[in-house]
Structure 1
Amino acid sequence: MMIIVLTSCRYFQQGFDMLVENLMVEAPSFKKVLYVDDIKKATADDFSRAKAIVVDYGQSEVRVLNTLLEIKNRYEQSYFIFITRDACFESTIENILINTIADFTIDCKSAVRKLSACLAHFALEDQQVTIFKNIRWHHLEKEQRLTRMETLLLPYIVSGKKNKEITRYLDLTGKTVSHHRRNIYRKFAVTNLTGLYKKFDHSI
């Protein structure tokens, strides 16, 4: 089993090394860990062999989330684990993207304990999903009553993807994407993506 770890912190890497070393005894399937400080440094072959991608997401960076969203769509077998901070969920756009990408999220304050449990469950194929939503996004999602398709499209829309790009990711027709994009804008009472961003930033 190969794991890709995205981190620029050497202390995180050292801690993860110790964790994996301890797990090797009980989970010998952990054979390789690839550390990268930029996800674009990992190759297509790396992603195709990776069973899990661990993301040390300590600072808000939507560009990284956009790249990870694309990777998640190309390599569906990969299980995404985010080590993050509560502050990273304050942005509605980041909240939407993280909740779409991550299969498991862990607050850094209890990262070692929870990551140990997560990887142990993962080795036993007893995986679980943990989702956090900020107050604005929870309020808006409930209020607007988005359909399943609208919820599916929203992360791609807020990440700035054009309709043509979205059709490739989700195997939908341009007409279908355009229809649901219009419905999303209508439900949020906006006419474009800028208006949607403002709605997320200022809603309470």
Structure 2
Amino acid sequence: MIIIISANKFFINGIRSLVNMTMSAQRRYSQTLFLDNISDVNDKSLTIARTIIVDYSHPDIQQLAALLYRKKKIIHGDIVFVVKSEILADPVENIIINSISTIVLDYIDVTQRLQKYLQNASDHRCIKVFRKSISSLDSCVNIKLTKQEDSLLPYIISGLNNKKIAQATDLSNMMISHYRRNIYQKLNVRNIAGLYHFLHSLEGG
């Protein structure tokens, strides 16, 4: 199954044509599901989907949080983000998308690259490009988050509370609280608002 998340009819029509060509040529995808929002997809569909394509033309932290929450335990296929380059310039969006996605494609050349992906003819690692990542933030401000803190940072900045993060990661509420405090201390912030301010202060740096 392939799942397409988009509310844009032009995007849907274009993707539908690409998918239909791939299905007729290779029969790689037996079913295609088109939905407006990730929250409309049930867990069973997410589990069996080989590919989830997300039309992410406008910032939507809630949609990112919904994907992030379900990714580790439910989603086993590729997650392909189609984004506008300016969205990746936002550190918060960038870090979360970086943690969720298998591939990120720019709107400018999405047709050719997505066609190659659907034909399974491209090197996924070569087309996943970000202006910032968690590791680059570390080097940029000369801080060192632990590997576990790095992995939890996207969950925290997506707005998920400790209970939700614990459910998504199989860590206890107490451990999530511990790591959250450590991250805040290392970044010299007091709360999530301070964390957002800190991350946005790095833009362009």
Aligned to 1:133: 130
Q: 1:67-105: per-residue Cα shift (whole Å, max 9, x none)?
A: 121231331312100011101112111111100111110
Identity, % of aligned pairs? 30
Say whether 1:191 aligns with 2:197.
Answer: no
In 2, distance between residues paired with 1:67 and 1:177? 18
The answer (yes or no) to whether the contact 1:104–1:131 under 8 Å persists in 2 is: yes
SS in 1 for 2:51: strand
Aligned to 1:164: 163
TM value normalised by structure 1: 0.88
In 2, distance between residues paired with 1:28 and 1:133? 32
Residue 108 of structure 1: CA displacement?
Answer: 0.8
SS in 2 for 1:54: strand
Residue 29 of structure 1: CA displacement?
Answer: 2.5
The answer (yes or no) to whether the contact 1:136–1:200 under 8 Å persists in 2 is: no
What is the correspondence of 1:1-204 to structure 2 with a 5 Å cutoff? Answer: 2-121=1-120, 128=125, 130-135=127-132, 139-142=136-139, 143-203=142-202, 204=205
TM value normalised by structure 2: 0.88
Alignment CA distance shift 1:171-1:20 (3 Å)? same
* Contiguous gaps of at least 5 residues in structure 2: none
Q: 1:139-194: per-residue Cα shift (whole Å, max 9, x none)?
A: 53222222210111101111122222222111112332222222211211112211
SS in 2 for 1:59: coil
The answer (yes or no) to whether the contact 1:72–1:78 under 8 Å persists in 2 is: no
Alignment CA distance shift 1:29-1:121 (3 Å)? closer
Q: 1:18-51: per-residue Cα shift (whole Å, max 9, x none)?
A: 1122212432121211111122222233223211
The answer (yes or no) to whether the contact 2:7–2:36 under 8 Å persists in 1 is: yes
* Contiguous gaps of at least 5 residues in structure 1: none
Residue 130 of structure 1: CA displacement?
Answer: 4.5
The answer (yes or no) to whether the contact 1:56–1:84 under 8 Å persists in 2 is: yes
What stretches of structure 1 move > 3 A for 4+ residues in a row?
126-139
Q: How many residues are aligned here?
A: 201
Alignment CA distance shift 1:39-1:129 (3 Å)? farther
The answer (yes or no) to whether the contact 2:95–2:132 under 8 Å persists in 1 is: no
Aligned-partner residue type, residue 129 of structure 2: F
In 2, distance between residues paired with 1:37 and 1:155? 23
Aligned-partner residue type, residue 63 of structure 2: V
